[in-house]
């Protein structure tokens, strides 16, 4: 009986030893997937902001071409538009 219990204990220890690297790899894969997801979200946010800025600039250019821009309301006929874009990235 003692021999069977000892063998079972050794077998369990060996199984645990073999499964640990797989568990470690799974944990690393999950962490990597989360980091990739966060990077993709940051990239998409940045791209969205760039597209919005280009759309605003295009709209301003059309208004200028049609003569309906804010330049008509100013005293000297010229106007300056300034846009500020803030991008936030998450660092690990």
What's the pTM?
A: 0.46
pLDDT 10s digits, 71-80: 554 545 555 6
pLDDT 10s digits, 47-62: 999 999 999 999 999 9
86: which DSSP letter? -
* CA dist., res. 35 & res. 45, Å (int): 15
31: which DSSP letter? H
Say yes or no to pLDDT of 41 above 60: yes
- Burial annotation 47-81 (CB, 10 A radius, 16+ → b, else e): eeeeeeeeeeeeebeeeeeeeebebeeeeeeeeee
2 vs 60, higher pLDDT: 60
pLDDT, residue 20, reads: 85
């Amino acid at each position: 009986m003692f021999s069977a219990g000892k063998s079972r204990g050794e077998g369990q220890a060996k199984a645990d030893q073999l499964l640990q690297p797989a568990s470690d790899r799974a944990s690393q894969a999950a962490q990597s997937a989360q980091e990739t997801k966060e990077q993709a979200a940051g990239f998409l946010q940045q791209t969205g902001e760039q597209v919005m800025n280009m759309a605003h600039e295009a709209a301003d250019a059309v208004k200028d071409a049609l003569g309906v821009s804010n330049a008509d309301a100013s005293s000297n006929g010229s106007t300056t538009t300034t846009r500020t874009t803030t991008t936030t990235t998450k660092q690990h």
